A and B are shown apart, each in its own frame.
Chain A
């Protein structure tokens, strides 16, 4: 893309006014058919209703918003120009590590601080599910550089595997967990195999299609999945065989009675929270270890340059399939947890929006950055949650946030596309200077 540099000068008020007026004009154009006019059903036939007041407000807000925004931007820019040495946020690995440990500490302490607040812990559990999914997808997208728009399929496979193993064979959470992971990994290879030769956007549509295929099958194959009605009464996980129930079955003990505590519904909530925390942390450790193994290095090499990988004699097939399988397995684990936590699953939970959310978490976090995924999951789950009181705006805010964050920080909140390892800093610099630095 061309790098055209336009000299920026401070805008005069007239220019600012003109700019805002143009925005207001566009807002008017966009607003007329959607805000200004609407159709309502009156006695079986549609009639048109006008809302010119609302349209006026919309245009006015656009005008004022643009005017103020530009003004602030100019101020900021002016200040930056006056003081060129802006203290940059310290992004050294040490700082990131510190933040990482701080986040970990906070997440361990959270249930202690909010031990009576079910809502907080539930929301935190949701965040952690997305963190785990994000870390799983990070293997495929962030490390191996394979665009996957159907990740939710593996999440669904994990969840349904547990639900079916329970309802047919009475398996418990802990028995089903490894099987579901293996099942999801199998599906990952199943998907990965036919699309080895595809790249970029062809890959995107095929993975998207795969996700849809799984969902459509779950909706329509009622003998297997009970269709849109879903599968219910899936048991919660136990702590070493101790269930979290008020009245455990005859001859067994519940968590509360074993430890001599008064029964509280919060025990289970907090247990589930810690369980997903442990699962997510295991995922993190697992993935960070893998990154240091040959297979992890191979993924990163594949992301940077596939042809170079082939030239170096790497088996690209195995590298791709392993990325798909491991990413899928982690998604499957998260799915089992999801099924156990909800107690009820239906194809509704596994739509494309979920895939898009998980992918957005990975990309917004900064591809390949583990901590970035946590930040992005926090933002994307909590932001709509803030608008809970006017819930119809939730998804609207979600979409807006995705666009705004991306425009604000195109390489993600914490960009770390740096390869994990460098041979030699000086050598790498030389290569870059000579134009050999592999930029995809």
Chain B
């Protein structure tokens, strides 16, 4: 029981991270209807920025923890958004309005490019950073097993909740959110109404990248190691989460992320850690067999 509780906590933390990345996928899909394959690698870039920033801070002897984490978050968000913007501008905008597969291929190309660029400039080795946030709360003890929530886990969940609330507010209540949703529904009409569609799409990419940046910093703090390949795995998982929840739906992305995180934690703990990816995809296929547009997705009504 205690063990299960611990897995629940681990799964929720993991799920929160996946959810943050998945929102980036789902928003981009919603607005221009393409899979941004490079999104996972944007997340990876942010993790590397976080490593550099933490090391720099340590070199300048900035030890105040909240200050350090805030500084790293802001740096990572700033630079990663620049990456999100640049990727959209270079690889996707020229392909607006062409076939559906063209941006997909250039996205895969971009993903390969980013991975190798980071490998070349930052090195192929795993980068470890010293633990940033140590300790935690012991919440329950039974049969020699202690259930513990680490401070990092609490931080990840709290940050995710805050971001989700802020984000929902942004999308549903603000002028930008209205423009963004308008572009999703009909970009031509939106353009006719005097809204700069290109700018809205760019902003969407930057927002998605910013959330991925937060996820990148959190993962760096949580695991303490980073390498250039983490973007692929996390990207696929997050994309699976977005599809599972129903691509295009923000709560769906978060829900999908939590489900994927929980499945992974429990499968690895009780069945076999090797096959946790198989379990994830098998569940995805199963869900999609019965709900072809995901758990919370609107069924696509096709008109002739």
Contacts and interface: CB of A to CB of B under 8 A. Distances in A.
A30 B113 contact: no
Given A46-B55, A216-B275, A360-B105, A34 B118 contact: yes
Nearest to B35: A201
A57 to B, nearest CB: 13
Contacts, number: 201
B197 interface: yes
A393 B52 CA distance: 23
A210 B282 CA distance: 8
A40 B108 CA distance: 29
Contact of A209 (B85, B103, B285, B302): B285
A34 B240 contact: no
Interface in A391-422: 392-393, 395-396, 398-403, 406-407, 410-411
A204 interface: yes
Contacts of B96: 1
Interface in B102-154: 102-106, 108-123, 125, 127-130
Interface in A346-382: 352-353, 356, 359-360, 363-364, 367
Contacts of A206: 281, 284-285, 288
B125 A46 contact: no
B278 A213 contact: yes
B236 A48 contact: no
B4 interface: no
Contacts of B83: 30
B288 A367 contact: no
Contact of B82 (A30, A141, A202): A30
Given A216-B277, A403-B110, A48 B82 contact: no
Contact of A411 (B52, B98, B127): B98
A141 B99 CA distance: 13
B271 interface: no
Contacts of B102: 363, 406, 410-411
A39 interface: yes
Q: Is the interface of A mostly helix, strand, loop or mixed?
A: helix
Given A41-B125, A201-B247, A403-B109, A410 B99 contact: yes
B55 A47 contact: yes
| Most B-side CB within 10 Å, residue of A29, A219, A402 | A402
A204 B35 contact: yes
B274 interface: yes
Contacts of A48: 52, 55-56, 59
B278 A216 contact: yes
Q: Chain B's interface: helix, strand, loop or mixed, by majority?
A: helix
A153 B268 CA distance: 24
B285 A195 contact: yes
Contacts of A314: none
Please classify how large the interface on chain B is, using the bins under 10, 10 to 19, 20 to 34, 35 or more.
35 or more
Nearest to A353: B112
Given A202-B288, A205-B239, A410-B95, A360 B116 contact: no
B101 interface: yes
B212 to A, nearest CB: 14
Interface in A207-264: 208-210, 212-213, 216-217, 219-220
Given A39-B55, A216-B277, A407 B285 contact: no
Contacts of B239: 205
B79 A402 contact: no
Interface string B151-189: 000000000000000000000000000000000000110
A21 interface: no
Contact of A360 (B108, B114, B125, B280): B108
A26 interface: yes
Nearest to A359: B105
A398 B116 CA distance: 10
Interface of B: 29, 35, 45, 48-49, 51-52, 55-56, 59, 75, 79, 82-83, 85-86, 90-91, 94-106, 108-123, 125, 127-130, 187-188, 191-192, 197, 232, 236, 239-240, 243, 247, 272, 274-275, 277-278, 280-282, 284-285, 288-289, 292-294, 300, 302, 304
12 contacts: A34-B117, A38-B52, A41-B127, A199-B292, A199-B300, A210-B285, A213-B277, A220-B275, A360-B105, A395-B112, A398-B109, A402-B109
